[in-house]
Structures are given as structure tokens and as C-alpha cells.
């Protein structure tokens, strides 16, 4: 599978490598100043939307950290980025396709969750009834009512 590259903002890893002297480079307040959802944010959203909420996935952004990289989703009507877990990413890929660009503009259901490691969210695809399902015809031999093997 070819890796999809989306433009990422400066990350702590790349900023550290680029900094030439103390005080230069990106500012911590700009990098971490409320840009990402924190545990307290998810707790508040859980109280406001106990069953989660639907929104549109507006954009995706990859951030590189010292211990690896993560993908984050920009959600319509929200000013912070939500981390896309591997589980959510697999579900979104199955529903919307392998290309991350195809995910933009699609409807998702976000459910804030309290995990053992802290608060986060499950981001599930919302697929309209029949939108991605193949239509079965009456001529499909597997659905033929006269098939004796179904008795």
C-alpha cells in the first residue's frame, strides 16, 4: 500500500531539528496551545453529547512526535483536532476507501470515551443506507427461491 502524504504542520520532532539557538523555532504555545483535544475537552463533550455526535470530517493532518506519528481529524464546527486511532482509521478506510483524500467531506460519528490511559474518542464512519452497498438482483443465483440446496 502506498503511503499518502498530506502536508503536516511543524511538529516537535522537526522543530527540534530545525532550531538553531535557544528561543528560535516554533513556540510551544503555538504548537500545543489548545490545538488538540485534551482529556478535559472530551469529558465536556461527553456531558454535552452522551451518545456522541455527528459531524463532517473536514481535513486530516499528520503530526510527527518523538515516539512516532499520528493522524488527526479536523471536524466541522470544532476548533481542535481529534486523534484518529488505528481502529477508527481502519473503519473509516473500509467505509470511505483507502485514499485519505476521499475521507474529506464525509459524515462521521464521534463518541467521546474514557479509556484506561485517559479520555479520547472513537470516530466511526456514517454511511447512508444503501450508499456503499451493492444492489442484489432477483436474478442472482445465490438468492434463487427454486434452489433446492436451501431446503
Helix (H) or strand (E) holding 144: none
Q: What is the pLDDT of residues 17-64, one digit of tens each?
A: 544 455 555 554 455 446 899 889 999 999 999 999 999 999 999 999
Q: Which fold has domain 50-128?
A: OB fold (Dihydrolipoamide Acetyltransferase, E2P) (2.40.50)
Element (H, E) at 148: none
Query: Which pLDDT does position 84 carry in this prediction?
Result: 95
Dihedral angle sign, alpha carbons of residues 124, 129, 131, 136: positive
pLDDT for 104 equals: 95
Q: What are phi and psi for residue 74, nearest 5 degrees?
A: -90, 125
> Please, what is the average pLDDT of the chain?
77
Amino acid at each position: 500500500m502506498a503511503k499518502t502524504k498530506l502536508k503536516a504542520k511543524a511538529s516537535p520532532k522537526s522543530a527540534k531539528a530545525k532550531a538553531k539557538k535557544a528561543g528560535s523555532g516554533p513556540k510551544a504555545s503555538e504548537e500545543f496551545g489548545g490545538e488538540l483535544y485534551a482529556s478535559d475537552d472530551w469529558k465536556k463533550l461527553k456531558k454535552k453529547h452522551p451518545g456522541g455526535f455527528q459531524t463532517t470530517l473536514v481535513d486530516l493532518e499528520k503530526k510527527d512526535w518523538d515516539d512516532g506519528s499520528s493522524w488527526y481529524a479536523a471536524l466541522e464546527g470544532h476548533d481542535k483536532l481529534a486523534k484518529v486511532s488505528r481502529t477508527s482509521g481502519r473503519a473509516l478506510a473500509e467505509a470511505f476507501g483507502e485514499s485519505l483524500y476521499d475521507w474529506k467531506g464525509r459524515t462521521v460519528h464521534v463518541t467521546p470515551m474514557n479509556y484506561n490511559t485517559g479520555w479520547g474518542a472513537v470516530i466511526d464512519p456514517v454511511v447512508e443506507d444503501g450508499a456503499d452497498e451493492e444492489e442484489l438482483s432477483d436474478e442472482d443465483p445465490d438468492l434463487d427461491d427454486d434452489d433446492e440446496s436451501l431446503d
